[in-house]
Amino acid sequence: MKILKQVAEYLEKGDRERVYELTGQALEQNVSARQILDDGLIAGMKVVGDRFRKHEIFLPEVLMAARAMNAGMDLIKPLFIKEGVTAIGKIVIGTVYGDLHDLGKNLAGVMLKGAGFDVIDLGNNVPAQKFVETAEKENATVIGMSALLTTTMMEMKNVTNLLKDKGLDKSIKTIIGGAPVSEEYAKSIGADAYAYDAASGVELVKQLV
Amino acid sequence: MRPTIEFLGKNLIQQIVSEAYLILCTLGIEIHNKNVLEMFSDHGAKVDIDKSRVIFKEDIIQKALKSAPKSFKLYDVNGNETNDFSGYNVHFTPGSTSINVLDYKTKQIRKPVTDDYINYVKVVSQLEHIASQSTALIPADVHENISDSYRLFLSLLYCEKPVVTGTFTIDSFEIMKDFQLAVRGSEKALREKPLTVFSCCPTSPLKWSDVTSQNVVDCARYSIPVEFISMPLAGFMAPVTLVGTLIQHTAETLSGIVISQLTNPGTPMLYGGSPAIFDVRFETTPMGAIETMMIDCAYNEIGKYLGIPTQAYIALSDAKQLNAQAGLESGIGATLAALAGINNISGPGMLDFESCFSTEKLVVDNEICKQVLRLVKGIEPKEDFPALPIFEELLKEKHLLISEHTRKYLREEHSFPGPVINRANRARWKEMGEFTLEERAHMEVEELVNSYKPSTLAEDTKREIINLMEREGKKYGQTSLPDRY
C-alpha cells in the first residue's frame, strides 16, 4: 500500500511530522491500526535497524526514527483495544537500587519505545520490590535492569530471586545491562538475557516477550 | 586553529642554510654525469670534470630557489585534482619501492609478483585517506630492466590516482614518460596537469650518481615533478647531531634543486628526503626512530623557509610484522608529519626499513591517516557560543543525541574509523568473532580487492600503454608479460 510505504520512508528519515500526518491519512483511508503498525512503522524501523547495524547510519538517526515512530503510535494506539491488537510488548526498566547512573538505561528506553514497546521507566535507585510490583500491576512481561557499579549490580539478583520466590520467573523475564555485568553474570543470577548495548537489547527483548 | 609543530625557528634555519651554502660553494658536490657537469660549467660554476666535482656559486643557488614553484598540484588519470602541495596541506602516499612483501598467510617475506602488485593497487585505489598511489613494490616476475616501468604500467592501468614513482635506470625514463603522455594526450597537457612525482636520490655524502642526476634533468625537460630524497645517516654518513645531519640534507637537496631549475626553471619539486639516524648497535637505519622523524619534520621547516613544498618518508615502521611496533612508529610518524605540515607524507604500508610492503598494514595505516587528517583540522567553535541554549536543551531533554546541533556537527566533529579499528565493547567484539587487528586488516584487504571497480581510464589509452609495455618488454627478451587478473 502506497501510503504505508510512505509512512515507512518518512520514518526512516526521522520526519516526525510527516509520519504523524501520513498515519492520520492512513486511518482516514480506513487502513487498520495493525496494518499501519506492521507494514508502516515497524517495517520502517526494521530498515533503520539494518542500516544501523551496517554503520550506514548512527544512533542519532535511529533515535530520530524512533521519535517518528512514537508520533505514529500516538495515533494508532487508542485503536489497539478495539482492533484486538496487542502492543509488541510491555517492559519495566530502571537502574537498580543504590545506583544513580541512568545514561545506558535511558538510551535503552528510547530505543525500546522506538521499536514499539510499551516502556515503563522507573528511573534510578529502584528497589527490587518496586520492579516486581510494577511489572505485576502493569502486566509487563519483561523487567530490564541496569547498573554501572560492581557494588550495585548485586541488586539484580534480588530482583530475579524475588520473581522466583513469587513464582513469576516464568511469566516475567529479566534482561540486564551495564558496564560491570556480562553474559556469565546474567546466567549466574538466573537472568534471562544480557545485552551489551541498547540496540542489541531491543533485539533480545523482542525474543523475550 | 590548525595545530602545528616546530623544531627549529628562523635563526637556526638561517644558520643551517648558510652552512649548507658554504659547503656547496667551498667543498662542492660530486656529480657523476658529464652533461650535468657541463650544464653547471655553462652557468659559471667551477667544474672539475676529472674529479666529477662542482663548486657551486651562491647566485646559481639563489636563482634556482627563485624559479622554484612555491606550490603545485597533482591530477588523477582523468585530470581531476587530487593533491594540492601548498602551505600546510598534507597528503598521504604509500611507502615506495619495496623489494619484499609480507605474506599474510605464511607471515614470511617473499619477492612480490604481478598479482601482489595488482592486489595492492586495487586496495589503494579505494583508500579514501591516501591521496596518491606509489609504485610500492618491485615485481620480481618480469625482467629486471623493466621492473621499474612495469610498476608504473600496472599502476596506471588499474588505479586512477596519481603516482609517486621513479626509475632505476636512465633508459627507463623514456617509457615512463611515454605512459604519461599516453594518459594525458600531449606534452602540454602533461605539463599542465602533472600525473606523477619521480623520486630522485642524491647519494650521501654530497654526491649524485649518473642515473639519478640524469633523472632530475629528464624530469625537468618535461616538467615532471620530482622529489629529492636525500638520505644522510646521522652518525655514519653524516654528522651524529641532528643539526649536522640537517646541514648535509640541506646541501644535498639544494644541489638537486639547482640541477632541476638550471635544466628547466619552474619545474615543480618537493623538498623531500629519507634521512635517518644510524643505529650503531644493529647497523640499521631506523625509520621509526623519533630522531629520524625529528630530522624529517625539521628539514620540512627548512623547505618551507625556502618556499618549496615538502615530502618525507615518515609514517612507516621497522617492525617485521604487523604488530604494535608497526602501529606506534607509523602512528607517531604520521602525527608528527601532519602537524609539521609535510605536504607529501610517504610511508603507509611499509615495514622493515622501507624494504617490505604489507597491504594489510596499508589498510591499518589508512585509519591512522584518517585520524591524523582529522587532528590537523584542529578545534574550531561551531555554534558553541553562546553556550546556554545547548545546555538548557541538555538539561531539558536529558541527552543531546537527537539535538539539531548534534546532527549538524556530528560527522564534522567526530571521525568514524572503518572496520579495521574495533571500537565495540568487549562483549560485542567477542560476538563479532574476536578478530585480531591483523585478521581484521586482512578481511578488509579481501573486501577491497573484491569490491574493486576497474579504472575509468579510456580503453584506447589502456590499450596504448599495454602496447608500450609489451614493446618495452620485448626489448629485453621478455616476449610476454605475466598474466593479469
Residues of B in Cβ contact (< 8 Å) with A109: none
Same domain as B105, residue B19? no
Q: Does B408 touch chain A (CB under 8 A)?
A: no
pLDDT tens track for B293-344: 999 999 999 999 999 999 999 999 999 999 999 999 999 999 999 999 999 9
pLDDT tens track for B417-443: 999 999 999 999 999 999 999 999 999
So what's the pLDDT on residue B107? Answer: 96
So what's the pLDDT on residue B423? Answer: 95
The partner residue sitting opposite B406, judged by closest CB among A60, A106, A182, is A60
Same domain as B73, residue B54? no
Region A31-54: mean pLDDT is 92
Same domain as B52, residue B78? no
Same domain as B365, residue B228? yes
Kindly tell me if the per-residue pLDDT of B223 is higher than 90.
Answer: yes
For residue B300, the cross-strand partners are none
Cell representation of residue B324: 604494535
Percentage with pLDDT > 90 across chain A: 79
So what's the pLDDT on residue B409? Answer: 97
Strand, helix or coil for residue A194: strand
How many angstroms separate the CA atoms of A115 and A120, rounded?
14
pLDDT tens track for B51-96: 999 999 999 999 999 999 999 999 999 999 999 999 999 999 999 9
Distance from the B404 Cα atom to the nearest Cα atom in chain A, whole angstroms: 10
How many angstroms separate the CA atoms of A64 and A10, rounded?
11
- Please state the domain count of chain B: 2
Distance from the B408 Cα atom to the nearest Cα atom in chain A, whole angstroms: 11
Residues of B in Cβ contact (< 8 Å) with A183: 427
So what's the pLDDT on residue B53? Answer: 97
Give the DSSP letter of residue B203: B
Same domain as B36, residue B159? no
Which CATH number fits the domain A2-83, given the four candidates 1.10.1240.10, 3.30.590.20, 3.40.50.300, 2.60.120.620?
Answer: 1.10.1240.10
- Helix intervals (H) in A115-151: 128-138
Same domain as B165, residue B22? no
Kindly tell me if the per-residue pLDDT of B398 is higher than 90.
Answer: no
* Domain spans of chain A, in order of start: 2-83, 90-208
pLDDT tens track for B86-140: 999 999 999 999 999 999 999 999 999 999 999 999 999 999 999 999 999 999 9
Same domain as B153, residue B19? no
Is residue B386 assigned to a domain?
no
Comparing alpha-carbon positions, the chain A residue that sits nearest to B399 is A103
How many angstroms separate the CA atoms of B430 and A196, rounded?
11
pLDDT tens track for A63-93: 899 999 989 999 998 888 788 877 789 999 9
Is residue B217 assigned to a domain?
yes
Contact between residue B95 and residue B166 where contact means Cβ atoms under 8 Å apart: no
Residue B183: pLDDT band (50, 70, 90) is very high
Among B residues 421-460, those touching chain A with beta carbons less than 8 Å apart:
425-428, 431
Residue A115: pLDDT band (50, 70, 90) is confident
Percentage with pLDDT > 90 across chain B: 99
Is residue B430 assigned to a domain?
no
Cell representation of residue A81: 483495544
- Helix intervals (H) in A54-197: 59-83, 103-114, 128-138, 155-165, 183-189
Same domain as B295, residue B212? yes
Which CATH number fits the domain A90-208, given the four candidates 3.30.70.360, 3.40.640.10, 3.40.50.620, 3.40.50.280?
Answer: 3.40.50.280
Same domain as B189, residue B56? no
Highest mean pLDDT (candidates A71-75, A112-116, B175-179): B175-179
Task: Note whether A60 contacts B407, CB cutoff 8 Å.
Answer: yes
Q: State the amino acid at position B318 in one-letter form.
A: D
Is residue B273 assigned to a domain?
yes
Residues of A in Cβ contact (< 8 Å) with B399: 103, 106-107
- Does an H or E element contain B13, and which? helix B10-26
Task: Note whether A196 contacts B416, CB cutoff 8 Å.
Answer: no
Residues of B in Cβ contact (< 8 Å) with A103: 399
So what's the pLDDT on residue B294? Answer: 98
Region A182-196: mean pLDDT is 96
Same domain as B220, residue B73? yes
Region B217-238: mean pLDDT is 97
So what's the pLDDT on residue A111? Answer: 86
Residue B376: pLDDT band (50, 70, 90) is very high
Region A134-156: mean pLDDT is 95
Among B residues 333-392, those touching chain A with beta carbons less than 8 Å apart:
none
Task: Note whether B431 contacts A196, CB cutoff 8 Å.
Answer: yes
- Domain carrying residue B342: 66-375
Q: Does B406 touch chain A (CB under 8 A)?
A: yes
So what's the pLDDT on residue B20? Answer: 98
Kindly tell me if the per-residue pLDDT of A153 is higher than 90.
Answer: yes
Same domain as B193, residue B147? yes
The partner residue sitting opposite B401, judged by closest CB among A60, A196, A200, is A60
Question: Which residues, other chains included, contact A72 with Cβ-Cβ below 8 Å and sequence gap of 6+?
Answer: A7, A11, A19, A20, A22, A23, A36, A40, A41
So what's the pLDDT on residue B399? Answer: 86
Residue A114: pLDDT band (50, 70, 90) is confident
pLDDT tens track for A157-178: 999 999 999 999 999 999 999 9
- Does an H or E element contain B312, and which? strand B311-313
How many angstroms separate the CA atoms of A44 and A65, rounded?
8
Residue A135: pLDDT band (50, 70, 90) is very high
So what's the pLDDT on residue A15? Answer: 97
So what's the pLDDT on residue B335? Answer: 98
Kindly tell me if the per-residue pLDDT of B44 is higher than 90.
Answer: yes
The CATH number linked to B292 is 3.20.20.480
Among the candidates B356, B375, B394, a domain finishes at: B375
Question: How many contacts does A have with B, using Cβ atoms within 8 A?
Answer: 32
Same domain as B228, residue B96? yes
Is residue B232 assigned to a domain?
yes
So what's the pLDDT on residue A81? Answer: 78
Distance from the B402 Cα atom to the nearest Cα atom in chain A, whole angstroms: 5
